[in-house]
Structure 1
Amino acid sequence: MASRSGSRPNTDRRSFLVATGAALAGGALATGTASAVESAPYHLSQGDQCVPLQPLQGDDPVEAFYDYRRDRDSSYGTRSLQQPNTSVLFLYEGPDGVSLVAVHGALGGNGDGGSITFDISGLPSSGDWIVRDDSYDGPNRYDRWEIDGDSATVDWTWDGRRADGAVYGPLGDDVSVEIDPAFNERAALYGDHYEGNVSNWQALSGDLDDPTRTSLDRSTPLRIESGSCPTTSTMATSSTTSETTTARPSSGESTTATGMETTGGESSGNEDDLQRILDGLSRFFDWLSQLFDRFARFAERYL
């Protein structure tokens, strides 16, 4: 029986893709994926942990990307990033530069709403509050904004069907912004209008369509700065799976992304070194798996 004439080229191209993927993986192993992560243009530090931040990139200006609409007093443009009972924090890079974005809750979600207070300092003079969600005048506007130069105190509260948040930008080149959070009962407006609880605080980084989510400690201040993580900091493990390791505060506690399970205790130096090695290997294999997944999708689409 005669063989199909097109089978050989397809096989050759698939073999080429596999070989190329293996070569890329080998190169990543030689250089170390940690170096690629550490070279992110920004980082977030909380306690003794550091999270590399790669801005989520889009073609729209940040105000259009956020897409605040008065009919629901919420961000429509960030719906793919929103999660019920969750607050997300990330950098967005559009045609006008890099901006800081915070989104609380989920529009149209089934959460319980919530209340958060952020004391923010170190805001660069190059920027401004591009979006204040909410800032309209009316009896149903409960959020409170106190702005004083490079500092601001924002009290948010929202119901479970809507979202809240803000955008500040552009940040410029030299960034050092600190956020001191107060969630749930510690927030200024908790119980005044809504009593829902925010169960998770996440930092997003990387791909706008599929960002890496790192869970943060809701009771510890954080700082977002230009440049890669300091070499003396411990890299926070992050993952796109349902359970994400928290950036641990200085007490040595860690919390999963669910915010429900907490383990504490001091580790010896050797155990810390071993954990850092295991974390690095975990990040590498996660990256390697994503790389081969992308090659597989490419092969299925074009071959």
Structure 2
Amino acid sequence: MTQDDTLVRKSVLTTVVVVIAFTLAAPFGTATVGATTTPPSDTDEYAVVQGDECYTIKPIGDGHLTAEEFYDYRDPDTEPSSHSYSSHGTRHLQENDASLLFLHEGGDGLSLGVVHDRHGGGSEGGAATMTFTDLPENGEWVVEDDAYADRDDEFSHRNGSSRITWVYGANRTDGGVFNGGLDDEFSITIQPRFNEDAAFQQYDGELTDWQVISGNSTGHERISLNMNQPIEIRSGGCTSYAVSELDIDESVTTGESTAVEATVENNGVYAETFTVPITVDGEVVDEQEVTLEPGETATVSSSVTLEEAGTHTVGVANETMDVTADDGEQLPGFGVGVALAALLIAFVARVRP
């Protein structure tokens, strides 16, 4: 045997050993994905909380019109002008004897809007007083309906709070729009007083419904609120939780059950019951319910069975990892590691002088 032959055989032997080492190490053991927060709620979702009820809402608007353009308040001094002293841009939302609350996404960011009654709807007018607290300091009421001199409405603003009383006659609207600071996290409390409970009342008409408007794929939907209770409107949907420490075997056998565990934390401000989905390749295969106080964590456990060989994506909520399923048919009775070890023994025996 020449020296060159010896070097070649040693090189091949080293390669085989490295391949065996990687093969034996790779498929075994478990993997844990940790410390990655996965909020399941849409970033464009917001919540209206009243008593024990929580409603997830989305903004309306096309993202282009500013709050002032969308509301489109008109009086004899505006352009375009009108003697209606009303909102023309929200006519598709307005309802007789209803007070509306909405979030608007426009060219100037997110805004909070209020409009009472319906322009030209035949109502007899109305009155409402609302106190807004914890308004963002860098925001302002960009629309005050009405805005003319010597108006009957009263707008009082101080240190992140506003107290507004609206009174309006037949066939008109009143309202306003607050813009600024709402693109960050916020939580605003609104205390309503309608009709004879308002600070003052000048007309015979009455508001009979308080609604929050939420955007959806077909336009908008309405949610009726209790007219006698305050609400909180805040960023984030009603369900707000995070998933971390996803734990599952990286390699499993087809047809056999394997455990899945993850940590769930309530990162909202209310006690909530969450339905946490367990998924395989994007399809929900199980759901686990967990009730948590704010800041509390719990471990959710389940199991999955992969019926087909190959790589699959297993997840808890939006936290996922890839799992390889082996049906054992490639090298029956042994396994890749054992087969390569046998290959190494045979090779050593052959090259031994």
Question: Which of 194, 198, 202 is the equivalent residue of 1:187?
Answer: 198
Q: Quick one: which of 130, 141, 153 aligns to 1:143?
A: 153
Partner residue, 1:226 = 235
Q: 1: CA distance between counterparts of 2:41 and 2:93?
A: 21
Q: Is the 8 A contact 1:38 1:52 kept in 2?
A: no
What is the Cα deviation at residue 110 of structure 1? 1.3
CA distance in 1, matches of 2:40, 2:106: 22
Tell whether 2:186 aligns with 1:175.
yes
- Structure 2 alignment gaps of length 5 or more: 1-38, 76-82, 241-270, 275-353
Q: Structure 1 pair 174/62, CA: closer, same or farther in 2 (3 Å)? A: same
Alpha carbons of 1:234 and 1:48: their partners in 2 closer, same or farther (altered >3 Å)? farther
Q: Against the structure 1 CA distance between its residues 146 and 234, is the aligned structure 2 distance closer, same or farther, given a 3 Å change threshold? A: farther
Give me the CA root mean square deviation: 2.1
CA contact (8 A) 1:105 1:160 kept: no
Per-residue deviation, 1:115: 0.5
Residue in 1 that maps onto 2:347: none
Larger Rg, first or second structure (1 or 2): 2
Change in CA separation of 1:149 and 1:209 when aligned onto 2, cut-off 3 Å: farther
Which one-letter code corresponds to 1:198 in the other structure?
L
SS of 2:100's equivalent in the other structure is: strand
The share of aligned pairs that are identical, in percent, is: 39
Partner of 2:59: 55
- The 1-side partners of 2:207 and 2:183 are apart by 31
Structure 2 residue 78 is matched with structure 1 residue 67: no
- The residue type paired with residue 55 of structure 1 is P
Aligned positions of 1:86-97 closer than 5 A = 86-97=98-109
Q: Structure 2-normalised TM-score?
A: 0.53
- Asked if the contact 2:73/2:85 (under 8 Å) is kept, the reply is yes
1:159 correspondence with 2:163 = no
- Length, aligned pairs only: 197
Distance 1:126 1:72, change over 3 A: same
Distance 1:201 1:38, change over 3 A: farther
Cα distance in 1 for residues equivalent to 2:153 and 2:225? 23
Secondary structure (helix, strand or coil) at the match of 1:202 reads: strand
Structure-2 change in CA distance of 1:217 and 1:38 (3 Å): farther
User: Which structure 1 segments of 5+ residues have no match?
Assistant: 1-34, 236-303
Contact 1:42 1:54 in 2 (8 A): yes
Question: Distance in 2 between the 1:234 and 1:69 partners?
Answer: 46
Cα distance between partner residues in 1 of 2:143 and 2:187:
20
Contact 2:127-2:167 within 8 A present in 1 as well: yes
Q: Match of 2:45?
A: 41
Structure richer in helix, relative to its length? 1
Q: Deviations over 1:66-95 (max 9, x none)?
A: 000012111000000000100110000001
How far, CA to CA, are the matches of 1:182 and 1:45 in structure 2?
A: 17
TM-score by length of 1: 0.61
Aligned to 1:199: 208
Q: Does the CA-based 8 Å contact 1:204-1:214 persist in structure 2?
A: yes
How has the CA–CA distance of structure 1 residues 166 and 39 changed in structure 2, closer, same or farther, with 3 Å as cutoff? Answer: same
The one-letter code sitting in structure 2 at the alignment partner of 1:212 is E
- State the partner residue of 2:351: none
- Residue aligned with 2:70, SS: helix
User: What does 1:72-83 correspond to in 2, within 5 Å?
Assistant: 72-83=84-95
| Whole-Å separation in 2 of the counterparts to 1:63 and 1:234 | 39
CA contact (8 A) 2:165 2:198 kept: yes
